[in-house]
Chain A
Amino acid sequence: MIHFDNVTKRYPGGHEGLSNVSFHIDPGEMVFLTGHSGAGKSTLLKLIGLLERSTRGQVRVAGRNLTRLGRGQIPYHRREVGMIFQDHRLLHDRTVFDNVAMPLVVAGLGHIEIGRRVRAALDKVGLLCKEKNLPVTLSGGEQQRVGIARAVVSKPPVVLADEPTGNLDPTLSREIMNLFEQFNDVGVTLLIATHDLELISGMNRRILVLEKSRLARDNAAESVN
């Protein structure tokens, strides 16, 4: 589902965000991405969401070669990749419902269909009763769940999460991870960047470790060896 072949990302000024990284993730996998801050986790996720483009090497997502995707096609690619951020990135002047509905509005769905899908997504993250609230009235964990509902509402085959539990206490983090596992159960491919090793160590999932912009460890590759 996600293929990196010798991918290097060099920023203007010479700093390398990623150096010669190769891996692939099969459809339906749930993979964690760890490493110190500055190791390149965010850069890697940005390349998948086409927030950045690779300097060298090839990135392919769901069979699409992102290296060759034109500017005009970026929005259509992003609709296939749900993104979750540490700071939620919600719109604070809109209700929870409107925030979650955004990907569907952008995709041009009809009114009734939007209502049905948004409520299903909010139900999934346990916030159906708060659909009319503004995000500021919610706790951090609830805001993160709104962000998750927005990422999955259009049922993208790939979901990326950048430090989704960064600001949450262990119990809430655990809940968020449970949610991700439920999405994975219905076939969504997930790539979750986190530095909370304690949280993910017991989950028995594949872990990619980035160190100084390089892929230092991939426990899927290890188990094959």
Chain B
Amino acid sequence: MRRPRKRQSARISPRSSLRADVWLMRHLQVALASLGRLIRTPLSTLMTTLVIGIALALPSGLYLLLGNVESLSGHWDGAASISLFLTQETSDEQAGSLASQLRRDPAITRVRLIGRTEALDEFRRLSGFAGVLDSLEENPLPSLLIVEPAADRTEPAAAEALLARLRQHSEVEFAQLDLQWVRRFHAITEIARRGVIILATLLGLSVLLIVGNTIRLEIQNRHAEIEITKLIGGTNAFIRRPFLYNGAWYGLFGGISAWLMVGISLLLLDNPVEQLAGLYQSGFRLSGIDFATLLVLLGGSTLLGLIGSWIAVGRHLHEIEPA
């Protein structure tokens, strides 16, 4: 785009060809000038920035939340376990011998036995039904074996095969593969991920429109300046430049405010999430925006601002011709 124009200019007027350092200096000046222009109208700049910030904070916040939820599910992936509920007739001793038999199985890493008595104690402790339980003549709870498949059996198909084999044991009343839940969870997060992408696309589009509209108004406000600049031989590239920088600044500021909004929200959520995690005996903490994500956010928002203003300038600059 630049080069052929420069060559044309050289043909018409050799003395006006730009030197590289002057060109760079000019860009810096225009960038700072458009920044200064924004700062001189702080209220409208702040409002535009906040609107862009909110539009960007929503998808980036959701994206972050999704990442946190997925990191949470990461803990469960390895622990895809099979619960074996044993029949009422099975005594704690029989359950113990089945457990040690299963421990020798190469497809199984770990077997945890929760005997009937132990289960009853735990239930009494946690449920608050101690009085009711004491009135029962016999323990209604079965023994439970929690079986963790070996690392190479956590694949859904392999785990299903193991599940079918474990069902064969006569002591087993009911066997449940907890992997099922993990798979459902994965399906749900996949839907959420798509949702975030769709939302991000729509809100990104809205940022384009916001910046485009703001720049369009700016072009109208500076109608006289554009007209006079065209009269004295300003190229379209020259006239376009301050508006493009304007849009890029809006995008960058919007990105920064989105970052702040997400950061503040995380701070507000951090404490309750820690409490909730504590209730589940988990040391889980929310993770914030890392440096790479921040770079993508700021780069993306600046680019959106640039594209938005480019569209506006492209559409409206040609409408202004000196007469």
List the interface of chain A (C-beta within 8 A of B).
46, 49, 51, 64, 72-73, 75-80, 83, 89-91, 102-103, 106-111, 150
Contacts and interface: CB of A to CB of B under 8 A. Distances in A.
Contacts of A109: 22
Nearest to B231: A83
A79 B233 contact: yes
A108 B18 contact: yes
B228 A102 contact: yes
Contacts of B233: 75-79, 103, 106-107
A75 B229 CA distance: 9
B8 A73 contact: yes
Interface string B130-170: 00000000000000000000000000000000000000000
Contacts of B13: 76, 79-80
B56 to A, nearest CB: 32
Nearest to A99: B228
B88 interface: no
Nearest to A49: B231
Interface string B163-204: 000000000000000000000000000000000000000000
Q: Which 8 A-B pairs have the closest CB atoms?
A: A79-B233, A78-B233, A108-B18, A76-B12, A106-B234, A75-B235, A107-B16, A103-B232
Interface of B: 5, 8-9, 12-13, 16-19, 22-23, 25-26, 224-225, 227-236, 238, 321-323
Nearest to B9: A76
Given A78-B232, A89-B228, 14 more contacts: A51-B323, A72-B5, A75-B236, A76-B12, A76-B13, A79-B13, A79-B232, A79-B233, A89-B224, A90-B228, A102-B229, A103-B232, A106-B234, A107-B233
Contacts of B224: 89, 91
Contact of A108 (B8, B12, B26, B322): B26
A136 to B, nearest CB: 14
Contacts of A78: 230-233
B16 A76 contact: yes
B8 A72 contact: yes
B314 to A, nearest CB: 14
A102 B226 CA distance: 12
A211 to B, nearest CB: 23
A89 B12 contact: no
Contacts of A51: 231, 321-323
A67 to B, nearest CB: 16
